[in-house]
Amino acid sequence: MAVANIDMKRLLNSSLFSKDIEAVEKRLTEMALEAPSMVAGPLRILVSAPGKRVRPSLVILCGHLGQYDRERHILAGAAVEAIHLATLIHDDIIDGAETRRGVPTLNTSLGPDIAVFAGDYVLMRALKWLAPVLEPRDFQYVGDILSDLCTGEILQHELRYDVDTAESRYLEIVAQKTSSLFSLSCWLGARLARLGPGEIDSLIRYGKALGIAFQIADDVMDLASTQESAGKPVLHDIRQGTYSLPVIYALRRDNTGELLNLLRQGGHDEGAIRIAVSRIVTLGGIDYAREVARKFSEEAIDAVKGLPGGLVKDLLEGLAMSAYSREA
């Protein structure tokens, strides 16, 4: 049976989710307004910037497979989005990024020192939201996920400018830094809905595969999209020496050494970067990465094939199909 793509905007505007996503947004806004005064304004602007909200959507989606508890699921959805936001705030400091989602980063508005504290504040609020909805023993899993997330970010930074990075290493890092939070979102939704161990395991596997597909698509957009279509600055990773799957594949296929030389000239040489991207396209790096992303999307769909049929399962499958083909 064919699976239809589900656009995130269409999903969030559906009657099943729109009010609960609005409630998540309200929690995030309250968090910003309750922050210390020098942080509250810039944080409020960042929170209000349009985002996909895919992680809280996964919490809510998975919750509707069982005993949905609106208040607890909304808190959990706000928590995973806050964790994600905290990682973005810290990423922007490391990268020296000036904008995020079309608005100034906290690094720009507040400077790196206060931005670090603001990111820590957002993370602590996430944990505060999780405290009343989880059992004490559940925090072991949450801690493992946060540890994986941080480890992935550290490993990615460690491998900057490493032209010998293997595809398997890249996928390992993506699984840690990106799909771990997708898995946590699915686990939270399922755990709070009192699903059985088998169903929870299926949704964790779904989240992991979906997160990898989502990140590969992000990496493709960084190379193949314009800033306008992507909604954020492009060519960022390659300038910073973070070589994603299209680059890794193209390097493996480049027998002339031209791409390697261009990457060594990169950084602030805009001309070399543009030529390098063209070479990556010619060598099939973009097409290959899209195909790998498609396979992970199919893996996500396969993970939930044993779940009961219905609207929620259809949405999970459609979201997986849209993850690898999205353009923003």
Residue 102: predicted pLDDT:
84
Listed range (12-21, 104-113, 319-328) with the worst mean pLDDT: 12-21
3-class state of residue 100 by DSSP:
strand
What are the DSSP calls for 234-274, one per residue?
Answer: -SHHHHTT---HHHHHHHHH-SSSHHHHHHHH-TT-HHHHH
Percent of the chain with pLDDT strictly greater than 90: 78
Domain count, the chain: 1
Do the domain assignments include residue 205? Answer: yes
What lies within 8 Å, CB to CB, of 319 at 6+ separation is 6, 8, 11, 54, 57, 61, 210
What lies within 8 Å, CB to CB, of 26 at 6+ separation is none
| Domain that residue 180 falls in | 8-325
Which two tokens mark 127?
């944990």
For residues 322 and 8, is the Cβ–Cβ distance under 8 A?
yes
Handedness of CA 323, 65, 20, 27 (dihedral sign): negative
Task: List the CATH number of the domain containing 111.
Answer: 1.10.600.10
What lies within 8 Å, CB to CB, of 150 at 6+ separation is none
Which residue spans within 20-117 are E strands per DSSP? 99-100, 103-104
Band (pLDDT 50/70/90 cuts) for residue 278 is: very high
Do the domain assignments include residue 2? Answer: no
Q: Decide: pTM greater than 0.85.
A: yes
For residues 196 and 307, is the Cβ–Cβ distance under 8 A?
no
Closest to 103 (Cα-Cα) out of 32, 192, 182? 32
164-210 pLDDT, tens digit per residue, is: 999 999 999 999 999 999 999 999 999 999 999 999 999 999 999 99
Residue tagged 């909805």 (tokens): 133
Do the domain assignments include residue 320? Answer: yes
3-class state of residue 58 by DSSP:
helix
Which two tokens mark 78?
């706000």
Cα–Cα distances (Å) from 103 to 45, 49, 51, 229, in that order, read 7, 7, 12, 16
Do the domain assignments include residue 53? Answer: yes
What lies within 8 Å, CB to CB, of 180 at 6+ separation is 145, 148, 149, 152, 208, 211
**229, pLDDT greater than 60:** no
Per-residue DSSP letter, 308: P
What residue type is 24 in one-letter code?
V
Residue 119: predicted pLDDT:
96
Do the domain assignments include residue 3? Answer: no
Do the domain assignments include residue 172? Answer: yes
